[in-house]
Amino acid sequence: MRKVTALYPGSFDPPTNGHLDLIERGAKIFEELIVGILRNSEKVPMFSLPERLEMLTTLTSHLKNVRVEAFHGLMVEYAKSIDATCVLRGIRAVSDYEYELQMALMNRKLEPTLETVFMMPADKYSYVSSRLVREVAQVGGPVHGLVPEVVVEKLRQRLEPAYKFHDEVAGEISRTTGVREKRRKKI
Ligand code: PNS
């Protein structure tokens, strides 16, 4: 049997539990899985490339057939350079389908021998995206359960003022509610 190397490309800014779920599923069916982090010069990411590389390398260290690398330029060219014959992408909901279909067909046009394989993450992650995680974290909201704990910690460090402000406001609200509760009991 021929060994199949698959490429799982993405921005991973930051890596989520949905990404990890997909990596674990992919590692079970492909002999080799390369997680390719896009170095995108157009967008300013929340986490630098070395930070995303470090996070994903740590998070996948238990998977012996998974390697994490960075790439730039055309994904199909990078796939060729690592001898990948398959591209792995996740589809969470119907809303992902249109974009993913367009991308898969464009990639097929660019490199007809490269097959795109879609997998679904666990349904509990079907609403989790890096963009929403960033949005919640940027205002100090809780992201436990959405991203691995190392990423929770990284987000807290990166967005310390937002978390501090959020925690202070939350504390203030619970103190005020507590006072109201006491007053109500008296009445
Ligand atoms: O995590 P994302 O942002 O959904 O990943 C998108 C990614 C990195 C897979 C896509 O933007 C990509 O492959 N970029 C590399 C440039 C390229 O090949 N573009 C043509 C795509 S049809």
Atom of ligand 1 nearest to the CA of 71: 15
Mean pLDDT of 117-130: 96
Give the closest residue (by CA) to ligand 1 atom 10: 10
- Per-residue pLDDT tens digits for 41-90: 778 999 999 999 999 999 999 999 999 999 999 999 999 999 999 999 99
Q: What is the pLDDT of residue 187?
A: 35
Q: Which residues line ligand 1 (CB under 6 A)?
A: 9-11, 38, 74-75, 103, 106-107
Catalytic residue among 52, 89, 92, 154: 92
Nearest CA-CA partner of 32 in 58, 66, 59, 80: 66
Query: What is the rounded CA–CA span in Å between residue 181 and residue 157?
Result: 35
Type and span of the H or E element at 158: helix 149-158
- What's the Cα-to-Cα distance from 50 to each of 54, 87, 140, rounded to whole Å? 6, 23, 24
- On the question of pLDDT at 179 being above 70, the answer is no
Split at pLDDT 50, 70, 90, the class of 168 is: confident
Split at pLDDT 50, 70, 90, the class of 186 is: very low
pTM of the model: 0.90
Quote the radius of gyration of the chain (alpha carbons, Å): 20
* Cβ within 8 Å of residue 137, ≥6 positions away: 143, 155, 159, 162
Give the closest residue (by CA) to ligand 1 atom 7: 10
Q: What is the pLDDT of residue 7?
A: 98
Q: What is the pLDDT of residue 184?
A: 52
